[in-house]
Structures are given as structure tokens and as C-alpha cells.
Amino acid sequence: MAAGEPELLLVEDDSNDVAVALRAFRRHALAERVRVFRDGAELVEYLLGQDRCRTAPKAILLDLKMPRMDGRDALREIRAHAETRHIPVVIVSSSSRECDVRECYALGANSFVVKQLTPWSPGEYLVNAARYWLDMNEVAS
């Protein structure tokens, strides 16, 4: 694993959510292992573009609603290429609609987490999810 390359990719256009998430990661010393992308296009460029990464991330936390390339298109792109097909993708969405959940799994998502609004410890659920994918889940290299 090359140094400096992130293990967890967070794809989120909402800066509030990004701030909350990064704060939570920082509090649990995970921030170093996370890199944030503003939309699907950035993510796909990072994963499959000219100047692509050399090591696949352990997981991608992917928001659904984003400008430009949204979560679904990004997921399709990831699953369409052999280099990225095996990367676990966790959908993080404020929608809990049955149809959205079903569609995402059909597109190849590995998990679906609903953005939680708790009056205590904001973003803590992301930390929980990240711990699982970073430290417990075995990935294919």
C-alpha cells in the first residue's frame, strides 16, 4: 500500500455533511485514511482517469444526490470496469425509499446507510460504518 493513498473515499457534495463527517473521523483518528470527493465525476477520474490511483480503496462512501455525475452513475461506472468492480461501495443517502435501496443493490452496492439525524454525536454512524469497512472487512486486492 503506497503511503498517502486514502483507504476510504467519501463522495459528498454537501459541505455541511462533509464537515460533520470529517469532524467525526478526526475525533476517532480516521481522518488521515479518508479522502473526500465533491461528486461522481471526481471519483471516477480518481479511480479510472489518466492519473489514477495505484491502490484501490477499502471502501467508498457514496452519496446519491449530487451535481454532475450522481451516485447511481458513479456506481454504474465503478461496476462497469474490472479494475474497480470489486471495491465495496456503501451508499449513504438521506432517502430510505424502498425503491432507492432496491435499485442501489441492483446496481451493485454493498451496503446502504441512511443519513441519521441524532441530537447527540453527529456523524457517529459514519464512523461506525467506516470502522467496519476499514478494519473488519477483508477486501480483494
Partner 1 sequence: MTNLGEPVVGRPNLVLPLAILAAGVLMALLVSRGLQFRRDEDLSRNLEAYAGATARLAESRVDDLYEALRRRAELWDALMRGDLVAWHRSADVFLHENPAVLGLVQTDPSLRRPQTAGSPDGQWVLDEVTPKARQGAEASAGLGFAIGPIRLEDGRSVFAVEQRIASEPHDKPRSLLAVYDPRLLLERGLEPADPDYALSVSANGMELYRRAEAAGAAGLERAAALKPSLGAPWTLTVWPTARAMAAHGRDQGPLVALVAGLMISVLAASIVHVGALARRRARALAVANDELREQVQDARRSEGELKRLSDELEARVGERTAALNETIVELETFNYSVSHDLRSPLGAISNFAAILGEDYREVLDSTAAEYLQRIVQSATVAASMMDGLLAYSSSGRQSLNKTRVAMKRLVEEVATEVAAAWPQLECKMEIGNLPEAYADEGMMRFVWSNLISNACKFARPDQPPRVEISGQASDVEVTYCVRDHGMGFDMRYADRLFKVFERLHSADRQQGHGVGLAIVARMVRRHGGRVWAQGAEGKGATFYFSLPAGQERDEDGGRRT
Residue numbers at the binding site for partner 1 (CB under 8 A): 14, 16-17, 19-20, 23, 94-97, 115, 117-123
Distances (CA, A) of 26 to 4, 114, 134: 16, 21, 15
What nine digits make up the cell of 9? Answer: 473515499
Residue 44 or 130: the one with the smaller Cβ distance to partner 1 is 130
What is the smallest separation between the CB atom of 35 and partner 1, expressed in angstroms?
Answer: 21
Residue 7 or 63: the one with the smaller Cβ distance to partner 1 is 63
Residue 1 or 19: the one with the smaller Cβ distance to partner 1 is 19
What nine digits make up the cell of 2? Answer: 503506497
CA gyration radius for the chain? 14
Other CB atoms within a 10 A radius of the CB of residue 45 amount to 15
The single-letter DSSP state of residue 87 is S
Residue 38 or 79: the one with the smaller Cβ distance to partner 1 is 38
What is the smallest separation between the CB atom of 106 and partner 1, expressed in angstroms?
Answer: 19
What is the smallest separation between the CB atom of 72 and partner 1, expressed in angstroms?
Answer: 16
Determine the number of helices (DSSP H) and then strands (DSSP E) in the chain: 5, 5
What is the smallest separation between the CB atom of 93 and partner 1, expressed in angstroms?
Answer: 9
114 forms beta bridges with 93
